[in-house]
């Protein structure tokens, strides 16, 4: 007649998921031997070398701990129930880790003390923290959507040296979110526009500008001069480049990214946590994740994420609070919800793992699949050619593969709207004998549409080079651009 042994949840992995087993024996000790005999892997969790239960393993016979009965010799009767109950123990090492040495910090002028008064009133910042900020050198990669709020708050906070890498010029479409720039700066370099605004905000801050594209050739040299790197880039090659350079240099990388209504932020510091590659070992296929220019972005969103990056940067400099290291913050603007995922360092990470395969910067464009194959493959038609062919009355079916909300902003007279995503199921609406011209906003989606049509056997298909935007610039300046 067997005895029932109740298996606690943590040990069910060793009993094929069974929460109870029927075993034969005359004493508790015999039953336990029968148990580990049947399930060998349980042995080291339950028994010591001499066969007695381990410390922190408690065995109950029915409702009584066998310590108060006859220990392992306690006799059992058929129908009895044995329950294994763990005690849970642990603790922290008795000694606290040593504090970091304090280095010489620059003094503050009376005027600076007044300016940073509200910081100095916080014990977590105080005079020492403000002097740490003044001594700090922070590099912002990009002066765009994330870089704008980031640089503004870091300058206002009194970060002593702010490096900015950007080679772009201010465009009117930037101003919906890139608040470091202004209308008067449209058409001028972002670097100059940002420097003017930041210097006006806080003349104590030294701006070091790098009017260049960050590349594998210059990244290590530029980044090496800074304490904290803040990634405000909008593309994958630069994001992997910044990550790898930070890993190789052992510098913290304050990461942020945005997409339409959603944002992410984290702090990658391989000295105490994972890196971007531990999170995303491979970039998405090119074209899968649209850029802000293609997919749109709510203007406030980079403000929120960029401000979080500024906050984390300041915390790293102060050594205050709990940094976002090993944690990925996800923000959903439409639902107004924050989520936090804990990130693990990946031992197999190609750059910060135990056996790294990447020991120097690589070709990031190629790594991200950009330039590997021509992005535009297939017959194209320029806007001038299309205008001419339409003017002479050539029968051409113009198909607009953009989204309905883009159609509402502006569209070509006589065009038909079939959004790219619906195209494969709406091929029957098109005639293979017709001359077809596909167009989108800038010419990328229409090229994908062209591949779909050619794959379906359509022979006379062309894609409008530069899209409706090019049409608005060259052919019809009265048309709205977006």
Partner 1 sequence: MTLRMPAQLLDQVRREGEQAYPSECCGAIAGPVDGEKRAVRLYPVANRRTDDPHRYLIEAEQLRSVERDARANNWEILGFYHSHPDHPATPSEFDSSHAWPWYSYLIVAVANGRAESAASWVLDPDRPRMLRETLDVESEV
Question: What residues are labeled active site?
Answer: 292, 440
Instruction: Name the residue nearer to partner 1 (CB basis): 201 or 330.
Output: 330
Instruction: Name the residue nearer to partner 1 (CB basis): 10 or 284.
Output: 10
Rounded Cα–Cα distance for residues 23 and 46 (Å): 16
Instruction: Name the residue nearer to partner 1 (CB basis): 67 or 394.
Output: 67
**From the CB of 96, what's the least distance to partner 1, in Å?**
4
Instruction: Name the residue nearer to partner 1 (CB basis): 85 or 473.
Output: 85
Closest by Cα among 271, 269, 263 to 324: 269
DSSP 98: P
In the list 171, 340, 429, 431, the residue contacting partner 1 (rule: CB under 8 A) is 340
With binding defined as CB under 8 A, does residue 307 bind partner 1? no
Rounded Cα–Cα distance for residues 426 and 457 (Å): 14
Instruction: Name the residue nearer to partner 1 (CB basis): 70 or 319.
Output: 319
CB neighbours of residue 284 within 10 Å:
11
In the list 26, 341, 375, 473, the residue contacting partner 1 (rule: CB under 8 A) is 341
Residues, the chain: 482
State the binding string over 315-334 for partner 1 (x if CB under 8 A, else -).
------xxx-xx--------
With binding defined as CB under 8 A, does residue 128 bind partner 1? no
**From the CB of 252, what's the least distance to partner 1, in Å?**
15
Rounded Cα–Cα distance for residues 461 and 424 (Å): 15
For residue 6, the surrounding DSSP H or E stretch is strand 3-6
Instruction: Name the residue nearer to partner 1 (CB basis): 194 or 324.
Output: 324
Closest by Cα among 235, 257, 260 to 369: 235
The helix-helix angle for 190-201 and 147-157 (nearest 10°) equals 30
Window of 85-93, 149-157, 206-214, 278-286 that interacts with partner 1 by CB under 8 A: 85-93
Instruction: Name the residue nearer to partner 1 (CB basis): 87 or 425.
Output: 87
Closest by Cα among 441, 459, 442 to 450: 459
CB neighbours of residue 135 within 10 Å:
16
Residues 241, 361: contact at Cβ < 8 Å? yes
With binding defined as CB under 8 A, does residue 337 bind partner 1? yes
With binding defined as CB under 8 A, does residue 87 bind partner 1? yes
Rounded Cα–Cα distance for residues 181 and 432 (Å): 49
Window of 57-65, 159-167, 299-307, 355-363 that interacts with partner 1 by CB under 8 A: 57-65
The residues with which 139 forms a beta bridge, in sequence order, are 163, 229
**From the CB of 160, what's the least distance to partner 1, in Å?**
26
With binding defined as CB under 8 A, does residue 102 bind partner 1? no
With binding defined as CB under 8 A, does residue 100 bind partner 1? no
**From the CB of 314, what's the least distance to partner 1, in Å?**
16
In the list 18, 344, 359, 454, the residue contacting partner 1 (rule: CB under 8 A) is 344
**From the CB of 414, what's the least distance to partner 1, in Å?**
48
DSSP one-letter string for 128-144? HHHHHHHH-EEEEE-SS
With binding defined as CB under 8 A, does residue 339 bind partner 1? yes
DSSP one-letter string for 108-122? --HHHHHHTHHHHTS
Q: Which residues bind partner 1 (CB under 8 A)?
A: 9-14, 45, 56, 58, 60, 65, 85-94, 96-97, 321-323, 325-326, 336-342, 344-345
């Amino acid at each position: 007649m067997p005895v029932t042994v109740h298996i606690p949840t943590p040990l069910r992995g060793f009993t094929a998921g069974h929460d109870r087993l029927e075993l034969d024996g005359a004493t508790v000790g015999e039953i336990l031997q029968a148990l580990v005999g049947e399930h060998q892997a349980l042995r080291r969790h339950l028994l010591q070398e001499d066969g007695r239960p381990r410390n922190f393993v408690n065995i109950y016979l029915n409702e009584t701990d066998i310590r108060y009965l006859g220990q392992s010799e306690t006799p059992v009767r058929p129908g009895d129930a044995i329950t294994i109950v763990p005690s849970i123990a642990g603790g922290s090492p008795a000694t606290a880790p040593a504090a970091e040495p304090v280095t010489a910090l620059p003094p503050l002028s009376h005027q600076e003390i007044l300016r940073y008064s509200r910081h100095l009133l916080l014990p977590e910042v105080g005079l020492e923290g403000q002097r740490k900020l003044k001594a700090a050198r922070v590099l912002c990669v990009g002066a765009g959507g994330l870089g704008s709020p980031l640089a503004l708050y870091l300058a206002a906070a009194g970060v002593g040296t702010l490096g900015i890498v950007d080679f772009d010029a201010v465009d009117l479409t930037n101003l919906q979110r890139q608040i470091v720039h202004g209308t008067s700066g449209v058409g001028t370099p972002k670097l100059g526009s940002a420097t003017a605004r930041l210097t006006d905000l806080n003349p104590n801050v030294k701006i070091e500008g790098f009017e260049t594209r960050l590349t594998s050739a210059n990244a290590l040299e530029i980044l090496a001069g800074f304490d904290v790197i803040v990634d405000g880039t909008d593309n994958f090659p630069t994001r992997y480049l910044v990550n790898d350079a930070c890993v190789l240099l052992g510098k913290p990388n304050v990461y942020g990214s945005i997409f339409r209504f959603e944002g992410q932020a984290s702090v990658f510091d391989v000295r105490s946590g994972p890196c971007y590659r531990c999170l995303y070992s491979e970039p998405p296929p090119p074209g899968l994740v649209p850029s802000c220019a293609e997919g749109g972005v709510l203007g406030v969103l980079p403000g929120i994420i960029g401000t979080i990056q500024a906050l984390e940067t300041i915390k790293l400099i102060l050594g205050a609070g709990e940094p976002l290291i090993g944690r990925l913050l996800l923000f959903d603007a439409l639902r107004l919800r924050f989520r936090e995922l804990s990130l693990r360092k990946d031992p197999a990470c190609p750059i910060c793992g135990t056996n790294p395969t990447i020991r120097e910067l690589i070709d990031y464009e190629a790594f991200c699949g950009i330039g590997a194959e021509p992005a535009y493959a297939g017959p194209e038609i320029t806007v001038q050619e299309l205008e001419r062919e339409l003017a002479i009355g050539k029968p051409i079916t113009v198909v607009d593969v953009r989204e309905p909300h883009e159609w509402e902003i502006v569209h070509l007279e006589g065009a038909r709207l079939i959004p790219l995503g619906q195209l494969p199921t709406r091929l029957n609406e098109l005639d293979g004998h017709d001359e077809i011209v596909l167009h989108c906003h800038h010419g990328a989606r229409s090229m994908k549409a062209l591949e779909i049509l050619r794959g379906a056997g359509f022979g006379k298909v062309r894609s409008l080079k530069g899209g409706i935007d090019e049409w608005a610039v060259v052919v019809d300046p009265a048309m709205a651009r977006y």
